[in-house]
């Protein structure tokens, strides 16, 4: 049985259909990269899965249980955690305090402050530092660490490398490999296709709210991705 199942999911912003009839299965321990141009519906889809955006139609199932109408805070307790675009840390709290806030809604599991710092060593020296003073890479590490403190089964990452220096992106992706090795299922959004595909088991490209390309990152060509990304041909292609 899949950990996450989407069935004909529609998500709207007023009259605008941001996500249109999307269906997906994500297995336990799988890493899925979701790519697409700005406005394709990626962020809205992640927010829908996390419970921050109510679907207009369709279903969301977690290990076969329908959670379509389950509130976001209950989904956290069921094992879904979202790292939003822009990180959204509590600016006036320290890094450690941000982590401890998330721990109050945690499931049982192995992610503790010490485990998070082991995965993100840069946070050790920043434990007492206010989140407002962090660099982009440090803030992203703290935001991912905060999500991990809930001991998620499914980690949703929105725009992993947005606004980060290359060295910071390297550090964040290196840490994500440790998260994946721990068995966490990951659905990540990133504009950097090469990095995302290198980490993921599977890649899905969105265009205008629909999935238009799906396959293994190692088997999809740059031409296929470019065509899907910009809507050239608009044909569904499945690799592998």
Residue 61 scores a pLDDT above 60: yes
Q: What does pTM read for this prediction?
A: 0.89
Quote the longest CA-to-CA distance of the chain: 52
DSSP per residue over 78-122, as a string?
HTEEEE-TT----TTSBHHHHHHHHHTTPPSSS--HHHHHHHSGG
> How far is it, in rounded angstroms, from Cα 100 to Cα 105?
9
> Could you confirm whether domain 4-238 is CATH 3.40.50.300?
yes
> How far is it, in rounded angstroms, from Cα 213 to Cα 126?
41
| 61-70, 83-92, 112-121, 201-210: the lowest-pLDDT one | 83-92
Between the alpha carbon of residue 86 and those of residues 142, 164, 215, 217, the distances in Å are: 12, 11, 28, 26
More confident residue, 4 or 235: 4
H or E segment at 4? strand 4-13
Phi, psi of 59 (to 5 degrees): -135, 150
pLDDT at 185: 96
pLDDT at 163: 81
Mean pLDDT of the chain: 88
Confidence of residue 235 (pLDDT cuts 50, 70, 90): very low
Average pLDDT over residues 81-108: 85
Residue 240 scores a pLDDT above 50: no
Domain locations in the chain as residue ranges: 4-238
pLDDT digits (tens, 9 = 90+) for 8-20: 999 999 888 999 9
How crowded is residue 19: how many other Cβ atoms within 10 Å of its Cβ? Answer: 29
**Packing angle between helix 136-148 and helix 95-103, nearest 10 degrees?**
20
How large a percentage of the chain has pLDDT more than 90?
53
Residue 237 scores a pLDDT above 80: no
pLDDT at 72: 93
Average pLDDT over residues 113-125: 91
């Amino acid at each position: 049985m899949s950990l996450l199942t989407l069935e004909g999911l529609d998500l709207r912003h007023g009259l605008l259909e941001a996500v249109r009839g999307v269906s997906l299965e994500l297995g336990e321990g799988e890493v899925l990269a979701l790519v697409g141009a700005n406005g394709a519906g990626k962020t809205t889809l992640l927010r829908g899965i996390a419970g921050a955006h109510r679907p207009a139609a369709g279903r969301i199932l977690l290990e076969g249980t329908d959670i379509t109408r389950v509130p976001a805070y209950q989904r956290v307790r069921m094992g879904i955690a979202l790292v939003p675009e822009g990180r959204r840390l509590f600016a006036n709290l320290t890094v450690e305090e941000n982590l401890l806030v998330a721990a109050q809604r945690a499931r049982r599991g192995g992610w503790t402050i010490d485990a998070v710092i082991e995965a993100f060593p840069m946070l050790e020296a920043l434990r007492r530092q206010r989140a407002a003073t962090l660099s982009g890479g440090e803030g992203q590490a703290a935001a991912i660490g905060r999500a991990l403190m809930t001991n998620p089964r499914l980690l949703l990452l929105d725009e992993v490398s947005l606004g980060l220096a290359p060295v910071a992106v390297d550090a964040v992706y290196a840490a994500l490999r440790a998260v994946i090795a721990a068995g966490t299922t990951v659905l990540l959004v990133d504009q950097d296709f090469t990095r995302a595909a290198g980490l993921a088991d599977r890649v899905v490209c969105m265009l205008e709210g629909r999935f238009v390309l799906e396959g293994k990152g190692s088997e999809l060509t740059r031409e296929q991705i470019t065509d899907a990304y910009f809507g050239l041909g608009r044909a569904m292609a499945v690799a592998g």
